[in-house]
Amino acid sequence: MSDGLDTPAELVQNAAKAGVTTLAITDHDTTLGWDEAIIAGRQHQVRVIPGIEVSTRQLIGGNRSISVHILAYLPDPTNSALVQELEKTRRSRIERAKKMVALLAEDYPITWEMVLAHLPEGSTVGRPALADTLVSMGVVPTRSDAFTSILHSHSRYYVSDYSVDTTDAIALIRGAGGVSVIAHPLIDFPAGASMTDLPAEFFKILIGAGLNGIEIEHRSVPKQAKQWLKNLAVKHNLITTGSSDYHGIDGKDNRLGENRTEPAMLQRILDQASGFEAPL
């Protein structure tokens, strides 16, 4: 219900085909896909762990901020503080996408209605929907090509969006009984950078705010940072997870089951969560 190309039911069916027995579904800033995924999970004998990928922003000195995605596993989907914040984010994403469409329309015959045709009703709008529209118009051959060219954050068509502060999001997730895990950390860490450049202070702030875990096994987490992240997790008794971040066959190169979470770590998530009971 955000930027994956499979419907929640198709996602679960494809997971079953790929031999996945337990699957987390974490759409951006919405819980709209949970029910459909849970029902499909019962049909296909896949245990579905409902979650959200919360878009957040963290100030990193001066007036510079970075985009940080925080996975919220098993929060109460009716928690009013969380629901309100997610609604605010989704509304701002619509305004931001409309602004990007207006800029793109100066050079391409794109309209907001065309973008809406690529989204199920009520779902979270992001650059992937713009990418799909541009692909359908023949402007770019694939989603990835759109991201590396006209939709890149340095492109003149790019507009940034409102996101809740990362530390506030961690507190909101905890308040809703969820477990917070930082998604694919350090994906922008330069390949040649020294290990001493790793942002220890940034993680200290997140851990101080109550972060529960780190997603380490993910194709975009830099190899040279993984051991550092594992040591950090041990030091602070954090959960570590692995995930595919699958977005559909044509959504991204990521394939179902390509990275996994250890059963003991899943158990820690289940033990720490109190917002929503994971279906058996």
**Would you tell me which residues interact with ligand AMP (CB under 6 A)?**
3, 126-128, 143-144, 147, 247, 252
- Of 144 and 259, the one with the shorter C-beta distance to ligand AMP is 144
Cα separations in angstroms, 157 against 67, 118, 128, 192, 205: 18, 19, 14, 29, 33
Nearest position to ligand AMP, beta carbon: 126
| Closer Cβ to ligand AMP, 99 or 230, answer by number | 99
Q: What are phi and psi of 11, to 5 degrees?
A: -60, -50
Q: Return the number of the residue (146 or 170) whose C-beta is nearest ligand AMP.
A: 146
Nearer to ligand AMP, 57 or 174 (CB): 57
Residue 183 burial by Cβ neighbours in a 10 Å radius (0-12, 13-18, 19+): buried
Q: Which residue, 18 or 140, has its beta carbon nearer to ligand AMP?
A: 140
Closest CA relative to residue 160, chosen from 28, 52, 57: 57
Question: Shortest distance, CB of residue 259 to ligand AMP, whole angstroms?
Answer: 15
What is the smallest separation between the CB atom of 75 and ligand AMP, expressed in angstroms? 19
Shortest spacing between CB 177 and ligand AMP, in angstroms: 25
d(CA 147, CA 108): 16
Neighbours of 177 (CB within 10 A): 17
Nearest to ligand AMP of 8, 126 (CB atom) = 126
Residues 6+ apart with CB under 8 A from 262: 240, 242
Structure tokens belonging to residue 233: 């997790």
Cβ-based neighbours of 112, under 8 Å, separated by 6 or more: 97, 98, 101
For residue 31, which of 1, 11, 6, 55 has the smallest C-alpha distance? 1
- Which residue, 57 or 252, is less far from ligand AMP as judged by CB? 252
d(CA 271, CA 280): 14
User: Considering the complex, what minimum distance in angstroms separates the CB of residue 51 from ligand AMP?
Assistant: 14
CB of 1 to ligand AMP, least distance (A): 13
CB of 253 to ligand AMP, least distance (A): 8
CB of 130 to ligand AMP, least distance (A): 8
